[in-house]
Amino acid sequence: MKKLNIKIPLSVPESRRNEYKRNYKDLTNNSGHLFLIAGDQKVEHLNADFFGTGISLEDKNPEHLFKIARASLGGVLATHLGYISHYGQDYKELPYLVKLNGKTNIGPNELKNSSRLWWSVEDIIKFKKDSGLKIVGIGYTLYLGGQYEAEMLATVGEAIYRAHQAGFTTLIWVYPRGSKINEEDIHTIAGGAGVAAALDSDFVKIKYPYISKDRLNTAKKFQEATQAAGRTKVVCVGGSRRPVKALLEDTARQIEVAGTNGLAMGRNLHQRSLVEARALARALGSIIFKGKDARQAYQIYNSLR
């Protein structure tokens, strides 16, 4: 595990550098690596990810996410302000990243990609003060390509700037989209990572080509993305449901070979019972935060179920 050496971006003013460091430590469990518990699917997929075949009944209640985050020992919960506003008082110890935009999966995507901010950064600053919670940063989903690219780039550019002005950390989801775009293509994914760097984000969440069969080579090729991101750190999306062992191997390989700085996980966690999710989260945390290998992590997983 590398010692935590924070390169504070110059857009953070002198007077907010300590605040930024504090937030960065809370965001990354004092490790520089990020374990993002993604909780924005209530908007992105309505109730489809939370209720139905193969989903634990515990997942029907939004509080399930908070319980998992607490059980993860180190994960940061990224979700919309409403959930934090309603449950935060009972989960005061968690670090939160407030997702500032979102869209549903109903109707034509192109028309909705104009994801505007639901709350301004100023609102979040005030919310942190009002709530007394560990709000450590902001998140935003950016779709490249398409009718609203210009609007989204301008919106997130300004939001990141204002977040840094306040000492917040930032993470953006970057997804190139378009009829000619292969969303699993590493070269394209790397391009999105570079845009996140141009926008001054601290972290970027991007896709990972889990479908590839040559998994070691894929991780090597994925270095293109982590290098293109420069000093912006990369976390990959968790991918679709698959055996825990494979999932842990992918995660370890991403960090060790591809050079990512953590992982984001949503459905793969919250669709499980709290006991299962806790075991998986702790196993992932051992890789992300403590440098364990996949085998060790799998043992942790099995010991906790």
Nearer to a second copy by Cβ, of 97 and 228: the residue is: 228
- Rounded to a whole number of angstroms, the minimum distance from the CB of residue 18 to a second copy is 15
CA distance 50 to 70: 19
CA distance 158 to 222: 29
**Distance in angstroms (rounded) separating the CA atoms of residues 275 and 67:** 10
| Dihedral sign, Cα of residue 130, residue 79, residue 36, residue 156 | negative
| Per-residue DSSP letter, 126 | H
Phi, psi of 66 (to 5 degrees): -70, -40
Give, for 139, the enclosing helix (H) or strand (E): strand 134-144
CB of 176 to a second copy, least distance (A): 6
Q: Helices 274-290 and 244-253, interaxial angle, to 10°? A: 20
- Measured from the CB atom, is 28 or 101 closer to a second copy? 101
Q: Is 175 marked active-site?
A: yes
Taking the complex as a whole, how short is the minimal distance between the CB of residue 181 and a second copy, in angstroms? 6
Q: Which residues pair with 175 in a beta bridge?
A: 143
Q: Which alpha helices (DSSP H) does the chain contain, by range? A: 17-27, 41-44, 63-72, 81-87, 109-112, 121-131, 149-165, 186-198, 215-221, 223-228, 244-253, 267-270, 274-290, 294-304
Torsional class of 156: left (φ above 0), alpha (ψ -120 to 50), beta (otherwise): alpha
Catalytic residue (choose from 42, 134, 205, 292): 205
Q: 228 or 283, CB closer to a second copy?
A: 228
Which of residues 35 and 50 has its CB atom nearest to a second copy in the complex? 50
Minimum distance between the CB of residue 80 and a second copy, rounded to whole angstroms?
A: 4
Active-site residue, selected from the candidate residues 91, 175, 298, 301:
175
161 is catalytic: no
* Number of helices and strands in the chain (H, E): 14, 8
Q: Closest separation between CB of residue 150 and a second copy, Å? A: 4
Closest CB to a second copy among residues 1, 48: 48
CB of 68 to a second copy, least distance (A): 15
Nearer to a second copy, 25 or 112 (CB): 112
Cα angle: 207, vertex 210, 216; to 5 degrees: 115
Tell me the C-alpha to C-alpha distance, in Å, between residue 283 and each of 48, 91, 95.
26, 22, 19
Q: Give catalytic residue positions.
A: 175, 205
